[in-house]
Homo-oligomer: A and B are copies of this chain.
Amino acid sequence: MSASLGELAVRFGCELRGDPDLRVEHVAPLSSAGPDALAFLANPRYRSQLAQTRAGAIVLAPAHAGDTTRPVLIAANPYATYARMASVLYPAPVAAAGVHPTAWIAPLAQVAGDAHVGAHVSIGNGSRVGARAVIGPGCVIEEGVQIDADVRLVARVVVCRGTHIGARTIVQPGAVIGAEGFGFAPERGTWLKVPQVGNVRIGADVEIGSNTTIDRGAIEDTVIEEGVKLDNQIQIGHNVRIGAHTAMAACVGVSGSVTIGKRCQIGGAVGIVGHLSICDDVAVTGLTMVSHSITEPGVYSSGLPAIAAADWRRAVARLHRLDRMAGRLAALERQLGKERDD
């Protein structure tokens, strides 16, 4: 698709500085954009590229409008405005309504007439697929699953019995929703399986990344509220509850029975210990271990930045001997008649 700068400005309420009849055909980064490309500036670190860019038009904030001689589309939130304009240039592929001949739908399943069911999909009894939903190739939908309107399961997603997926939610390939989690009772040195009888409830407008796993509840349901965004390879344990519009980067592990508030931002590879809670509006930086409940909004960390290996080995050796170092310090303080403050 292509669009004129005039159309884009009007449709998305931007101030245009430039010829409204100019057209852009695709998007590109400032650094490599040509005259037929739409670019954007959201991260000020790239501001210096404004001077040299050859982009056909640039979506940017008022503060930067003067930094380039190219046509600009001025927006309060350039990244969001860019996202909407890109959706015009790259309309989402529409999947034709109907059921692929290789798919298998159980007799007691219901699939909306305008839904798409792809190759080698299986849908179990009692499951319902809503209007315009897209069930991509290789998906497995067990029994009693409810998939609301406009949901998109991209490919090879497994949705286990009794799961409910809210409208417009997108699930990327390889995700597993509603499998039995890690519930075992110790008994005489062995582990006895505990029936996992809860379900998974996923709200509307959620996105779930590739190969992410969300376990069904042990007793009550695992709940992902509306607007939550989960990246790839995330593990959500049983009975977890994630509040609306919380975003989680890839490789996060959330243990069972954790409650996470609304609008939290969890960095990559964070680990969250079981049975604790995190309040609304908390940010956790990457590779942090959350081992106590967090009751105050703010930013929390415990990730260690890489340094040269030899320096790191020395630091670790010191860290393991910190107790002795503290003792030596206290001894000097005593010798000098200082009040110990520790």
**A residues lining the B interface (CB < 8 Å):** 26-29, 32, 42, 77, 79-80, 82-84, 86-87, 90, 92-93, 100-102, 104, 118-120, 122, 136-138, 140, 142-143, 154-156, 158, 160-161, 170, 172-174, 176, 179-182, 184-187, 189-195, 197, 205, 207, 209-211, 213, 215, 219-220, 227, 229, 231-233, 235, 237, 245, 247, 249-251, 253, 255, 263, 268-269, 271, 273, 284-292, 294, 298-316, 318-326, 328-329, 331-333, 335-336, 338, 341-342
Complex Cα–Cα for A286 and B304 (A): 12
Asked if residues A77 and B187 are in contact (CB atoms below 8 Å), the reply is: yes
Asked if residues A312 and B301 are in contact (CB atoms below 8 Å), the reply is: yes
CB distance from A117 to the nearest CB of B (A): 12
The quantity of this chain's copies bound in the complex is 3
Asked if residues B32 and A220 are in contact (CB atoms below 8 Å), the reply is: yes
Across the interface, A211 reaches (CB within 8 A) one of B143, B211, B289, B305, namely: B211
Asked if residues B287 and A306 are in contact (CB atoms below 8 Å), the reply is: no
Asked if residues A328 and B328 are in contact (CB atoms below 8 Å), the reply is: no
Q: Given known contacts A83-B185, A122-B120, is B197 in contact with A179 (CB within 8 Å)?
A: no
The residue in chain B whose Cβ has the minimal distance to the Cβ of A31 is B220
Q: Given known contacts A156-B140, A273-B286, A329-B328, is B301 in contact with A305 (CB within 8 Å)?
A: no
The residue in chain B whose Cβ has the minimal distance to the Cβ of A331 is B338
A–B Cβ pairs within 8 angstroms, 27 of them: A29-B220, A79-B185, A82-B185, A83-B194, A158-B174, A172-B176, A179-B232, A181-B209, A182-B229, A184-B247, A191-B245, A233-B233, A233-B253, A235-B251, A249-B255, A250-B255, A251-B251, A251-B271, A253-B269, A255-B268, A289-B306, A292-B305, A298-B309, A302-B312, A314-B322, A315-B320, A321-B342
Asked if residues A303 and B291 are in contact (CB atoms below 8 Å), the reply is: yes
Across the interface, A137 reaches (CB within 8 A) one of B140, B174, B331, namely: B140
CB distance from A227 to the nearest CB of B (A): 5
Asked if residues B191 and A247 are in contact (CB atoms below 8 Å), the reply is: yes
CB distance from A54 to the nearest CB of B (A): 15
Across the interface, A308 reaches (CB within 8 A) one of B160, B299, B323, namely: B299
Asked if residues A142 and B155 are in contact (CB atoms below 8 Å), the reply is: yes
Complex Cα–Cα for A142 and B155 (A): 9
Contacts of A192 in B (CB 8 A): 80, 83-84
The residue in chain B whose Cβ has the minimal distance to the Cβ of A79 is B185
Asked if residues B194 and A173 are in contact (CB atoms below 8 Å), the reply is: no
